[in-house]
Amino acid sequence: MRALVVDSDAPGSLRLGSAPEPEPASDQVVIEVRHFSLNRGEVLFAGRRPRGTVHGYDASGVVVRAAADGSGPEVGSRVAAFGAGAWAERMAVETTAVARVPDGVDLGAAAAIPMAGVTALRTLRSRDILGRRVLITGAAGGVGRFAVQLAALGGAHVIASVGSPGRGAGLAELGAHEIVVGVDGIERPVDLVLDNVGGPQLAAAWELLAPGGAVQNIGWASGEPAVFEPYSLFFVGPAKSMNTFGDVREVGPDLATLLEFAAAGRLSAEVDWRGPWERFPEATRALVERRIAGKAVLEIPTSG
């Protein structure tokens, strides 16, 4: 089958080539992939994976082989999935990481949701956000745009932090109550920070935390170290905390929730770039250079 595979000699360490057909375990379905989405970290660090690896994690398509153990959706089901080897004509994925795509939801939009959407949902669900002040850094990116929408749905006062004024376009319409560049202009403490940026901005965001507040460290788009002043992590009073996020186990139910939100018109997949997978070099460059606000989705043509 055709697939986007890792090749350290290729521009961006990716090339469109061939790979063996997936061999599913008993608890896996095989999906004919129709669309897949790109995440910036996947693109940036593709060269760290072994040569020939089928890359990517987010996909949508149609089940062409049901799980042997009887779990999961039947053949012919439209699904979205999170699993290794998504950037290929076919992928095998655990039934616990698959969700049916509701009627009326475009498969291309569905492919944009798994990694970024589940990350935003799970980090926000870690705290009670109703009536709280939530700061989302890197809000113009894939995770950030989902987080803005979900935090607003959860009743939070949403502060969207972006890298430049132009990157803030559209965030108010998604639910942001305030849009700031960096952390400039934030005058009151915040209860929760979803940090996608790291570096000096992470240290600055920590200083903005209210007593009992928390930072959820999701990404590190800045690529810079975070330096904290001596004793700045010490606090007298209700404990402030900083946590990392990386729990992507059994995402199927959460993915189903997000897809239902999309079907009800309560969540936008925010696909800013879409095209055939032959144009992957163009899409990956645009993503790395931050010329995409939200998600990039590639389409695989069907043989029929």
- Cα(242)–Cα(219) distance, integer angstroms: 13
- Cα(295)–Cα(289) distance, integer angstroms: 13
Phi-psi region at 80: left, alpha or beta (left = phi > 0; alpha = psi -120 to 50): beta
DSSP state of 83: -
Q: Which amino acid is at 96?
A: T
Give the global pTM: 0.94
For the chain, how far is it from start to end, CA to CA, in angstroms? 15
Binned average pLDDT, 10 residues per bin, the chain of 304 residues: 95 95 98 97 92 96 98 98 97 98 97 97 93 97 97 98 95 98 95 96 96 94 93 90 88 98 97 96 94 96 73
The domains located in the chain, with CATH, are 2-100+270-299 (3.90.180.10), 118-244 (3.40.50.720)
